[in-house]
Amino acid sequence: MEGSMAKTHFPKIKTVAYEGPGSGNPLAFKHYNPEEIIGGKTLKEHLRFSIAYWHSFRGVGADPFGPGTIVRPWEKGTDPVSIAKNRMDAAFEFFTKIQAPFYAFHDRDIAPEGRTLAESNRNLDKIVAHAKQLQKATGIKLLWGTANLFSNPRYMNGAATNPDAHVFAYAAAQVKKAMEATKALGGENYVFWGGREGYETLLNTDLKREQAHLAAFLHMAVDYAKEIGFKGQFLIEPKPKEPTKHQYDFDVASGIAFLRTFGLEKHFKFNIETNHATLAGHTFSHEIEVAAAVGMLGSIDANSGDMLLGWDTDQFNTDVKELTLAMVSILRAGGLGSGGFNFDAKLRRASTDVEDLFYAHIGGMDAYALAFKLALKIRADGKLEKFVQDRYSSYDGDYGAAIEKKKTSFKDLEKLVLKKLGEPKSRSGHQEYLENLLNTYLH
């Protein structure tokens, strides 16, 4: 890495090292030891951390009330493609120094949009070639690629759900190219997040037709993946709203219903984002459990919201309790497979130093690593798991098992209650006991 790049973009910062929980060094890991082996795999391999290009290398701290505040030294020059290459050099130096094995991007994050689709495609080709070299030199891999189908004004009424078939066609062409770029870079997944696939008002919207168009679009993506031999996992990233008032992929449950309605369920899993879960009125764990229950847990967009704000604040998550519960669910589901923990999180507007980019990711990585270890402990201890198993044990045999196997009926069960069972005994859910038990692992 250092050899392939003449100059460093982070001269004051060395590769972040693991120094253990007692370390007072703000630029060291306290819990994330990438090379630590647990169950035959390194922590790096277990957690598959990924850096979100859009936030960490395109985010400037702008909000609806004011422009950007973050100025990076590498954002210099006049030719947008050269700036993009230079920025990518800085990005790969960061990925290396923070010890993240993956990154993720939208097509327009890494390469500038041109005046025509052909020019945009040419720009993307040049940057993909550059990314290929940097991936080879550093060993850093692409967790997923996606297409930005929400920033350009052409998508103001949606992309695949646009009432104008011309815009649908343009979006199709853009996704085709983004899939090719993802494949060229060995991307392990491809994400669909439909920020503008929804509606502002039903007064101008044919909901049924728009949903069918979105399904047609996804079927074309499935077909094209087959055609070009793209083997990565397709992921839907649900979000209830923002920017659009109502998005069709509202949450995991509505995503499952949508995919099954249109015969797409075999081709997709879910990329679950913590802040999107809370915007939908769910917990992070709820969304993980709903996806896992149908074998569709794919990947995580690792961030958090703010309890006092009703929008996607995309903050770095340092809430060990929330993350431990999520990790317990993820482990029970058998892990994330080709997915990972992608930091879809951004610095606060006033966090303007490059050090802040490091502090943010160090804090996030440490919190997930600690949560992962605590979750392993909770599962090894088995008390929580056993409690839940016992709670359902009446379904393990006899008429309970017959219910689960659909081997009984209303009539049989009525007879059983009248002749034998009578009134059920009250059984405590012991919630407070369980909350206390959980705290014994966290402290």
Rg (CA), the chain: 24
Considering only 146, 174, 247, 304, the residue that binds ligand XLS (CB under 6 A) is 146
d(Cα 293, Cα 24) in Å, to the nearest integer?
41
Which amino acid is it at 78? Answer: T
Question: Smallest gap, in angstroms, from Cβ of residue 302 to ligand XLS?
Answer: 11
Calculate the alpha carbon distances from 283 to 155, 165, 305, 408 in Å: 30, 37, 11, 35
Question: Smallest gap, in angstroms, from Cβ of residue 189 to Ni ion?
Answer: 12
Considering only 93, 301, 322, 366, the residue that binds Ni ion (CB under 5 A) is 301
Question: Smallest gap, in angstroms, from Cβ of residue 361 to ligand XLS?
Answer: 16
Footprint (CB under 5 A) of Ni ion, residues 331-390: 344
Considering only 107, 312, 322, 366, the residue that binds ligand XLS (CB under 6 A) is 312
Q: Which is nearer to ligand XLS, 86 or 274 (CB)?
A: 274
Closest CA to 137 of 69, 91, 191, 84: 91
- Number of chain positions touching ligand XLS (CB under 6 A): 11
Rule CB under 5 A: is residue 289 a binding residue for Ni ion?
no
Rule CB under 6 A: is residue 251 a binding residue for ligand XLS?
no
Question: Smallest gap, in angstroms, from Cβ of residue 195 to Ni ion?
Answer: 8
User: Interface mask (CB under 6 A) for ligand XLS, residues 87-126, using x and -?
Assistant: -------------------x--------------------
Footprint (CB under 6 A) of ligand XLS, residues 266-285: 273
Dihedral angle, C-alpha 190, 196, 199, 201, nearest 10 °: 170
- Indicate if 109 belongs to the active site: yes
Question: Smallest gap, in angstroms, from Cβ of residue 271 to ligand XLS?
Answer: 7
Rule CB under 6 A: is residue 237 a binding residue for ligand XLS?
yes
- Indicate if 219 belongs to the active site: no
Rule CB under 6 A: is residue 344 a binding residue for ligand XLS?
yes
Considering only 93, 109, 251, 273, the residue that binds Ni ion (CB under 5 A) is 273
Question: Smallest gap, in angstroms, from Cβ of residue 379 to ligand XLS?
Answer: 29
Question: Smallest gap, in angstroms, from Cβ of residue 301 to Ni ion?
Answer: 4
Instruction: Tell me which residue has tokens 């693991």.
Output: 18
Residue 158 interacting entry, from ligand XLS, Ni ion, none, C-beta within 5 to 8 Å by type: none
Rule CB under 5 A: is residue 210 a binding residue for Ni ion?
no
Residue 146 interacting entry, from ligand XLS, Ni ion, none, C-beta within 5 to 8 Å by type: ligand XLS
Calculate the alpha carbon distances from 69 to 151, 223, 355 in Å: 20, 43, 15
Rule CB under 5 A: is residue 287 a binding residue for Ni ion?
no
Footprint (CB under 6 A) of ligand XLS, residues 55-94: none
31, 106, 213, 286: which is the annotated catalytic residue? 106
Strands 198-199 and 246-247: antiparallel
User: Interface mask (CB under 6 A) for ligand XLS, residues 180-209, using x and -?
Assistant: -----------x-x-x--------------
Question: Stretches 42-50, 68-76, 218-226, 308-316: which one binds Ni ion (CB under 5 A)?
Answer: 308-316
Question: Smallest gap, in angstroms, from Cβ of residue 387 to ligand XLS?
Answer: 35
Rule CB under 5 A: is residue 312 a binding residue for Ni ion?
yes
Considering only 239, 282, 286, 373, the residue that binds ligand XLS (CB under 6 A) is 239
Residue 299: beta bridge partners? 271
Catalytic residues: 106, 109
- List of residues contacting ligand XLS (CB under 6 A): 106, 146, 191, 193, 195, 237, 239, 273, 301, 312, 344
